Structure 1
Amino acid sequence: MAVAIKKPDTKDMSTPHWHEQANEIQKYGTVTQDLPLGLSADVRAKSCKALNQLLADSIALRDMYKKHHWQVAGPTFYQLHLLFDKHFEEQVEIVDTIAERVQLLGGVTIAMGGDVAEVTRIARPPRGKEEVPVQISRLLEAHKIIIEECRDIAKQADENGDDGTNDLAVSDVLRANELQAWFIMQHLVDMPLVHAS
């Protein structure tokens, strides 16, 4: 006897199912237990915890660059407007690289603005506009926090045999943040514009 195959209802196939709900498939702060990476779940969990802190701080710095890009004013407006946007785009890449490493290690990334605001170590700037030296000082403080975190993460990862996280912390995040800090700190050097002192 032949089995009748029911054709799908075309009405159901073309209707969006946008009220879907389910439980989380993995809780934040956990790692999957068995991955072929040669790293224990404990080592991966430690790296993910440190990387998620770095990710939250990098997201805060990224967004601060965009805020200052929009709100910068004064004689150096054009240069800083472009520089802040360039640094924002570079931080976008850094954020993505950190997040991918967390996922690769079997963790769950911090992602939403409210969660980032609760976790970041970077002080929140006011909503309003600030003078350029204050904007730059805020950015330098944020870079300092991230640079110190990178060194701590690299050391911990090296001790735990997590070479990928060590390399990411140094090559992808530390060096980029050092370079960005150098670029913006030069705008705080008191140099004459027209006549030599």
Structure 2
Amino acid sequence: MDTATTASPTPMPTGGGQPLLHQKGGETQEFGTLKQLPIGLGHDTRMYACQRLNRVLADTQILYSLYKKHHWLMRGATFYSLHFMLDKHAETQLAIVDALAERIQSLGGVAVGDPRHVAELTAIPRPPDGVEKVPVMLSRLLDAHERILIDARDAATRISAEGDEGSTDLLVSEVIRTGEAQVWFLAEHLVDTPLVRG
């Protein structure tokens, strides 16, 4: 009798070797809800801060995507400098995205993450799918920045009045100050200055 063909299959070990694939289950926390954390801020303050921060987060994710798209689509004599500047700005915005999301989580909320959900929440207009002229792309970035800066300033003022200085500090030190500096760099590329005559 051939023992190789009649032996019973060896049971799979539990807990170590084989990943448990294709798992399904419901949400453990719905978007727009809070879990309780002992951070010395009341429920209503944290809820309001999470709502405002998620709006800024959604817009910042769109700004990051615009920077990447325009980085890829740059044209003309200023290609080299703009290509690299836009990519550097995008990296900075991505770090702000992470900081905003982590702040929302630290308040007990749920950060908006799925791009389709972001598209529902953002106030930044959708650009065309194709390529625009370079000054138009730069203007589009400036418009997105301005929308974020207006909202972030309002959010910082109101969240500060609620006593959440941590969220206020993040909005001022990261979103507002970084955005203002990036606007300056972008806007200077739209100045029509002669290169060879004074």
TM-score by length of 1: 0.92
Quick check: 1:30 aligned with 2:33? yes
Give, in angstroms, the shift of residue 127 of structure 1: 1.3
> Hey, what's the Cα distance between the residues in 2 that align with 1:174 and 1:100?
18
**2:31 alignment partner AA:** Y
Question: For structure 1, which runs of at least 5 residues remain unmatched after alignment?
Answer: 1-7
Quick check: 1:170 aligned with 2:179? no
> Hey, what's the Cα distance between the residues in 2 that align with 1:11 and 1:36?
37
Deviations 1:13-70 (A, max 9, x none): 43322210111000000111x3211111111000000000000000000010000000
Give, in angstroms, the shift of residue 73 of structure 1: 0.3
Q: Which residue in 2 is equivalent to 1:181?
A: 183
> Hey, what's the Cα distance between the residues in 1 that align with 2:74 and 2:46?
41
**1:30 alignment partner AA:** T
Deviations 1:120-164 (A, max 9, x none): 101111111111100000000000011011111111111100000
Q: Which residue in 2 is equivalent to 1:15?
A: 18
> Hey, what's the Cα distance between the residues in 2 that align with 1:12 and 1:111?
30
Cα RMSD for the two superposed structures: 1.3
Same amino acid, percent of matched pairs: 48
Q: Which residue in 2 is equivalent to 1:4?
A: none
In the TM superposition, 1:45-194 aligns within 5 A as 45-194=47-196
**1:22 alignment partner AA:** G
Give, in angstroms, the shift of residue 9 of structure 1: 4.1
* Alignment: residue pair count: 188
> Hey, what's the Cα distance between the residues in 2 that align with 1:49 and 1:153?
10
Aligned to 1:17, the other structure's residue is in SS state coil
> Hey, what's the Cα distance between the residues in 1 that align with 2:192 and 2:67?
22
> Hey, what's the Cα distance between the residues in 2 that align with 1:164 and 1:180?
23
TM-score by length of 2: 0.92
> Hey, what's the Cα distance between the residues in 2 that align with 1:11 and 1:158?
51
Runs of 4+ in 1 over 4 A off after TM superposition: none
Q: 1:26 to 1:11 in 2, by over 3 A?
A: closer
> Hey, what's the Cα distance between the residues in 1 that align with 2:21 and 2:12?
18
**1:102 alignment partner AA:** I
> Hey, what's the Cα distance between the residues in 1 that align with 2:100 and 2:71?
23
